[in-house]
Structure 1
Amino acid sequence: MSGLVTHVPPAPLRPLVSSAVGYRAPAFPTGVHRGLPSRHLTLVVELLAPLMVSGMGEPVSAHGVAGGLHTRPALIDASGPQEGLQYGLTPLGSRVLLGVPGGELRDRAVDLADVLGARAARMVERLRAAGGWDERFRLLDTVLLERLAARRWGAEPGPAGVAAEVAEAWRLILVSHGTAPVAAVAAHVGWGRRHLGERFRAATGLTPKEAARVVRFERAQHTLRARPVPLADLAVACGYADQPHLAREWRSLTGTSITAWLREELPFVQDAAGRPARPSVP
């Protein structure tokens, strides 16, 4: 049985954790699931078997995986059933909770032990022994709250926070659904385009232009998950020049065509409410 359980993290975590879900999914018919580009860095704890991810730098196989922002698909071994938790992280969340700037995780998926050390293995074992979703979420929230408290009190070293200008540029790209021109974003925050691009990429892993591409694509694929839409209309609604522009961007970001993705992935990656029910690192 497949399904998705949504969770609202404690208030102190909400600026750092952009989404939190528990997932349960059967084996995928093709054996490989595409983790699509999105606005979220990710922290995944797979409880049944090590999560195997390729296509994002060095392949990784681990129960705990952290992933950065990317502009190509992560290839996830889905040949067996999967069950676990996936937390989406903001760029600030990556810095505070993982202790790693988003730029260092660009196009990468890494063993959580590489960023959290021995505590990652202890966390995974406790989560695997937990009695249900409520306990699982409570355990993971507690670990992250402890990380947050340690950063605040200086008990653990870590990178500085995200610059206000970068945070505002990120916000503007998100609220405009990726349609705000980069020059306008730079002017809004009072920085030159080049300086914004360098600082933005270091903090998030993407340039402002790449982030806008990902956000537009994210809106398009979320729309297709929810309901059938003529592709020409979808292109206009999501800020593409035309349907061929949408098709080119889709293939570039996913490695496949829109029609192939709809045929191969969509029937198997949603729960009854039309939401993804499978890990998507990142």
Structure 2
Amino acid sequence: MTETQFVKATPPPPLRPLISGISGYRVRSAPGVHRGLPSRSLTVILALDETVDVTFDSGYQQCCTALVGGLHSKPAKVEHGELQHGIQLGLTPLGARALLGLPAGELADTGVDLSAVLGPVVAELTERVHSATTWTDRFDRLNDGLLRLAAPVDFPAPELAWIWRRMTQTDGHVPVAALASDVGWTRQHLGARFRREFGLSPKLLSRVMRFERARRQLVAGTVASLADVAADCGYSDQAHFNRDWREFTGVAPSRWIAEELPFVQGAAHLGDAS
């Protein structure tokens, strides 16, 4: 028996600077492995049945019912059983500070049990979400809990806030030297402050953002060929695109399209909660 359900929700206005997206899922299929790919968002997963089993490229493994994974540049291995049922959040670096009380840099290339960060409130929130009978009610209960957790916060320096906005607005296409010049920092100072806050170097995260844009285009099916995707996303040529794709997914683009794209497109073409 195959069951596939994906649902999306829009965070309420106070949470939008902190949460880049909310999605619910209930999928029943053969057990297997998915690749958790790099992006500009941290990932929070609340499992409503079974557990989340993730292995990061660093070798760090985590098995829990509520997980937060940091920014990373290598694919994570996500093992699943017959039933996948839960809610996934995209957490911005500012959201990490506001909701978790720590900079994104402390979670880079790893994942931790969310309860280890937030304590018993996680089990209470998960139980409230699990007991809801509709996706709309689940999302309402989740957002209510997140609003209670959120603390007023900002990045430790306005320069970092400006740099992050500029990078996200351009999908990482502004050179690091230009970013440093625009805020009056040296490139070395920018690199040190950036890695401490976000966990990756500005150059590496710029590459992740460019890759993320290419992945969005493939999932949306709006670009005719891989060569067109490469050109539109600013890669110097197809070989450059292929190298980055292999680095960030662990496989060639053609293999990822064959093995992962159908599932990812299902998750991307979500229905609204009702």
Q: TM-score, normalised by structure 1?
A: 0.89
Cα pair 2:94 2:154 within 8 Å, conserved: no
Cα pair 1:35 1:76 within 8 Å, conserved: yes
1:169 paired with 2:168, answer no
Structure 1 segment 37-76 matched on structure 2, within 5 A: 37-57=38-58, 58-76=60-78
Pairwise CA distance, 1:187: 1.1
Q: Say which SS state the counterpart of residue 203 (structure 2) adopts.
A: helix
Pairwise CA distance, 1:138: 1.4
Q: Say which SS state the counterpart of residue 244 (structure 1) adopts.
A: helix
CA distance in 2, matches of 1:200, 1:21: 29
CA distance in 2, matches of 1:211, 1:18: 17
1:81 aligned to which of 80, 83, 89 = 83
Counting matched residue pairs gives 267
Aligned to 1:280: none
Pairwise CA distance, 1:275: 5.7
Q: What is the root-mean-square deviation in Å for CA atoms of aligned residues? A: 1.9
Q: Say which SS state the counterpart of residue 265 (structure 2) adopts.
A: coil
Aligned to 2:113: 111
Pairwise CA distance, 1:212: 0.6
Over the matched positions of the two proteins, sequence identity in percent amounts to 47
Structure 1 stretches of 4+ moved >6 Å: none
Q: Please tell me the residue identity of whatever aligns with 1:35.
A: G
Cα pair 2:219 2:268 within 8 Å, conserved: no
1:36-87 CA deviation, whole Å, 9 max, x = no partner?
1111112110111111111254211111100110000111112322111111
2:25 aligned to which of 23, 26, 49 = 23
Q: TM-score, normalised by structure 2?
A: 0.91
CA distance in 1, matches of 2:177, 2:190: 10
Pairwise CA distance, 1:28: 5.4
> Any gaps of 5 or more consecutive residues in structure 1?
153-158, 277-282
Question: Residue 28 and residue 166 in structure 1: after superposition, are their counterparts in 2 closer, same or farther (change >3 A)?
Answer: farther
Using CA pairs under 8 Å that are at least 6 residues apart, name the structure with larger relative contact order, 1 or 2. 1
1:85-138 CA deviation, whole Å, 9 max, x = no partner?
111111110011011210000011111111111111222222211111112111
More strand by share: 2
1:211 paired with 2:212, answer no
1:102 aligned to which of 90, 104, 127 = 104
Pairwise CA distance, 1:27: 2.7
Q: Say which SS state the counterpart of residue 266 (structure 2) adopts.
A: coil
Question: Residue 94 and residue 273 in structure 1: after superposition, are their counterparts in 2 closer, same or farther (change >3 A)?
Answer: closer
Structure 1 segment 123-202 matched on structure 2, within 5 A: 123-148=125-150, 151-152=151-152, 161-202=155-196
